[in-house]
């Protein structure tokens, strides 16, 4: 049964400020290249474009860092970038609101970069032409893994909470999961392919596909999701599981307590990318502020709801969250 948004939720938001959170994961760069199509190429059936703008934003784990920092948290990032141009851009972007002292710059790694090539033309909507993914493939060399573990150990000793943001580009190894499980005072995990391996992480926040895949299943109806939540709680010995379901909201599974379904509030959706990162960020800060798992999930659902209504950046401020909660109470 869903429970209504209560004014008590507002009391946690001021307590987000200054919380020390370590984010360990794959720090990615999102690149947007926008061109104005003005003719057809004489060489191939593709548009010829004039470059209008090139924008960069933090992606993957770097976006989780950005979301936590925007909500008021004090973020230490642990990860790796290549010794390359994109790495430089990403570090510069992150350094505005995140401690990047524990990001390794490695000549044996490639900065994960997702490029979106977009075309615009007067009177026509913007079109995506192509996506270009650039990333390191294979297993991160042992020396680098050791260095990442060392950085993580040091950062965790100063942390109130640790987030694992795993997009499968090599940072979140089995040894890293074990380290966090054994030493973090509070841990939250999100993983694109490996949530089933996050044993001992206190709270995990997969989406429905990731939960199904981790359990070797496919279905996504209410009963399926309830089964996945219970199975993950047991398999990971977790304190709580939140399974996000896009427009359907989320289901919350505390270790000792009832399952709660949280529907989304109907709204205009502009851009759903990064909504999961907003959930991870908000849940972590809410738990640190003393909210229980239901309250944390409710706050995260409101936060993600605001984020999907925005174009471009998916980060939100404490003030926006506060305002939206107030409007949903009255």
Catalytic residues: 277
Q: Can residue 82 be called a binding residue for ligand ATP (CB under 6 A)?
A: no
Q: Can residue 176 be called a binding residue for ligand ATP (CB under 6 A)?
A: no
What is 129-144 written as a DSSP string? EEEEEE---SPPPHHH
Q: Which residue has the closest beta carbon to ligand ATP?
A: 276
Task: Report H helices in 126-221.
Answer: 142-156, 174-183, 208-214
Nearer to ligand ATP, 36 or 322 (CB): 322
Nearer to ligand ATP, 59 or 82 (CB): 59
Number of residues engaging ligand ATP in binding (CB under 6 A): 20
**Contact with Mg ion (CB under 5 A) among 72, 73, 276, 305:** 276
Stretch binding ligand ATP (CB under 6 A), from 113-121, 171-179, 180-188, 246-254? 246-254
> Least distance (Å) from ligand ATP to the CB of residue 309?
8
Nearer to ligand ATP, 288 or 308 (CB): 308
How many Cβ atoms from other residues are within 10 Å of residue 134's Cβ? 16
How many Cβ atoms from other residues are within 10 Å of residue 84's Cβ? 17
The DSSP code for 246 is G
Instruction: Give the torsion through C-alpha atoms of 212, 218, 223, 227, to 10 deg.
Output: -40
Binding mask 44-83 for Mg ion (x = CB under 5 A): ----------------------------------------
> Least distance (Å) from Mg ion to the CB of residue 146?
28
CA 78-282-67 angle, to 5 degrees, is: 50
| Residue 273 binds which of ligand ATP, Mg ion, none (CB < 5-8 A, kind-dependent) | ligand ATP
Q: Can residue 35 be called a binding residue for ligand ATP (CB under 6 A)?
A: no
243-275 burial, b at 16+ Cβ within 10 Å, e below that, comes to: bbbbebbbbbbbeeeebbbbebeeeeeeeeebb
d(CA 195, CA 215): 9
Give the three-state DSSP class for 231: helix
In whole angstroms, how large is the CA radius of gyration of the chain? 20
Q: How many CA atoms lie within 13 A of 171 on its CB side?
A: 37
The DSSP code for 259 is -
| Residue 264 binds which of ligand ATP, Mg ion, none (CB < 5-8 A, kind-dependent) | ligand ATP
Selection from 241, 259, 284 nearest residue 3 by Cα: 259
> Least distance (Å) from Mg ion to the CB of residue 51?
31
How many Cβ atoms from other residues are within 10 Å of residue 312's Cβ? 13
Q: Which residues, numbered 199-228, are part of the site for ligand ATP (CB under 6 A)? A: 207
> Least distance (Å) from ligand ATP to the CB of residue 39?
35
> Least distance (Å) from Mg ion to the CB of residue 214?
13
Which residues are near ligand ATP by CB under 6 A?
207, 244-247, 249-250, 264, 269, 272-277, 279, 301, 304-305, 308
Which residues are near Mg ion by CB under 5 A?
276
């Amino acid at each position: 049964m869903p429970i209504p948004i209560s004014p008590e939720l507002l009391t946690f938001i001021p307590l987000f400020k200054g919380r020390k959170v370590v984010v360990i994961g794959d720090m990615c760069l999102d690149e947007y290249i926008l061109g104005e199509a003005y003719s057809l190429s004489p060489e191939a059936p593709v548009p010829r474009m004039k470059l209008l703008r090139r924008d960069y934003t933090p992606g993957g784990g770097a976006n989780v860092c950005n979301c936590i920092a925007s909500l008021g948290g004090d973020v230490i990032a642990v990860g790796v970038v290549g010794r390359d141009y994109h790495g430089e851009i990403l570090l510069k972007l992150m350094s505005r609101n995140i401690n990047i002292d524990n990001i390794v710059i490695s000549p044996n790694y490639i900065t994960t970069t997702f490029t979106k090539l977009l075309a615009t033309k007067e009177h026509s909507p913007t079109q995506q032409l192509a996506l270009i993914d650039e990333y390191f493939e294979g297993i991160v060399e042992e020396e680098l893994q050791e260095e990442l573990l060392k950085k993580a150990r040091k950062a965790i000793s100063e942390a109130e909470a640790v987030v694992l943001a795993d997009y499968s580009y090599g940072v979140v190894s089995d040894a890293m999961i074990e380290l966090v499980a054994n030493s973090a005072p509070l841990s939250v995990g999100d993983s694109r392919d490996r949530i089933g391996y996050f044993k001992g992480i206190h709270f995990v926040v997969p989406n429905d596909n990731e939960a199904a895949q981790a359990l070797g299943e496919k279905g996504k109806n209410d009963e399926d999701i309830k089964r996945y939540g219970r199975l993950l709680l047991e398999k990971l010995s977790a304190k709580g599981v939140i399974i996000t379901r896009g427009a359907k909201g989320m289901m919350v599974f505390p270790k000792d307590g009832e399952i709660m379904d949280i529907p989304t509030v109907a709204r205009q959706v502009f851009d759903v990318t990064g909504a999961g990162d907003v959930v991870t960020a908000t849940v972590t800060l809410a738990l640190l502020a003393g909210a229980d798992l239901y309250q944390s999930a409710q706050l995260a659902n409101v936060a993600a709801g605001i984020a999907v209504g925005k174009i471009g950046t998916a980060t939100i401020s404490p003030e926006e969250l506060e305002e939206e909660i107030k409007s949903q109470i009255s």
